[in-house]
Amino acid sequence: VEEKSEESSENLQPRPPVVVVMGHVDHGKTTLLDTIRKTNVAAREKGGITQHIGASMVELPDGRKITFLDTPGHEAFTSLRARGAQVTDIAVLVVAADDGVMPQTIEAINHARAFNLPIIVAVNKIDKPDADPQKVRRELSELGLIPEEWGGDTIFVDISAKTGKNVDTLLEYILLLAELLELKADPTKKAKGVIIEAKLDKQRGPVATVLVQEGTLRVGDVFVAGVTYGRVRAMIDDKGRNIKEAGPSTPVEVLGFEDLPIPGDTLKVVDDEKTARELAEENRTKLQQQEKAPKAL
């Protein structure tokens, strides 16, 4: 039963964009994410020790933030996709300028289109002598991604993930696009988010990375997450810091699950443990019914 006050969103505020970096293997996705994290002021101030939690938030010198999900292709993202979870706002398509469009480039485009994600193209490895960024533009134009400079509506940025050249420009374009998308969330609501990753930690028990999508998640909050539930015992951000609260678009590692949640599941803060248990039970029943029902197609 939803409370009335939760239905209206009078407190909408701009939130950071959630970005996924996609592209063919070896085209430079990991290098790009590493470069972005290294130049990230927040990480640098704390000594640059980043935690692997499946997502990270970078902060520009002026305070603007961007959340990056780790590159998909792994199980978690497939599960997110299968559940139709809308997690990301923008896709950055990395294409190596010395290689051009490859099978996984096309896969990535299809993936982004299936989710209605606007695409920004990062033409990478322009430091290489055999780089041909114009060829990448031609090949992608044939696939319907026409550069703005050719009269289309796709932003292309020539970068070198390795040297860092133009990576700041790429971030600017991401934020520009985010502004056009008018991404907003209400930080005053009870938190709602999506499970990005989950693992069983020998010492800490079930641990999951949650991307907060609405509201603010706090230590002590009681939640339901798919067929499981729990109470937030501790939260750790992508820089390894213990935090007490996490607002919209923040990825955070959460401790306090009864059982391992499933990536793609929604986490929702509720009033008390009884409600959490009941909702988890309801979800379990629903899931069992779905499993029994004959599959469409």
| Residue 133 makes contact with ligand GDP by CB under 6 A | no
What's the CA gap between 241 and 57, in Å, rounded?
13
At its nearest, how many Å lie between ligand GDP and the CB of residue 99? 10
Binder among 42, 55, 121, 161 for ligand GDP (CB under 6 A): 161
The reply, when asked if residue 25 is annotated as ligand binding, is: yes
| Residue 29 makes contact with ligand GDP by CB under 6 A | yes
What's the CA gap between 16 and 184, in Å, rounded?
8
26 or 148: CB nearest ligand GDP: 26
The reply, when asked if residue 202 is annotated as ligand binding, is: no
Binder among 12, 30, 218, 245 for ligand GDP (CB under 6 A): 30
Q: Are 214 and 192 in contact (CB under 8 A)?
A: yes
The reply, when asked if residue 259 is annotated as ligand binding, is: no
Q: Report the 10 Å Cβ neighbour count for 137.
A: 23
Planar angle of CA 270, 85, 109, nearest 5 degrees: 160
Q: Which stretch binds ligand GDP (CB under 6 A): 12-20, 159-167, 201-209, 234-242?
A: 159-167
At its nearest, how many Å lie between ligand GDP and the CB of residue 40? 17
DSSP 83-114: TT----SEEEEEEETTT---HHHHHHHHHHHH
**Sequence-ordered strand ranges (E) for 5-44:** 13-14, 18-23
- Hey, is 44 helix, strand or coil? helix
53 or 122: CB nearest ligand GDP: 122
At its nearest, how many Å lie between ligand GDP and the CB of residue 160? 4
User: Interface residues with ligand GDP (CB under 6 A)?
Assistant: 23, 25-31, 124-125, 127-128, 160-162
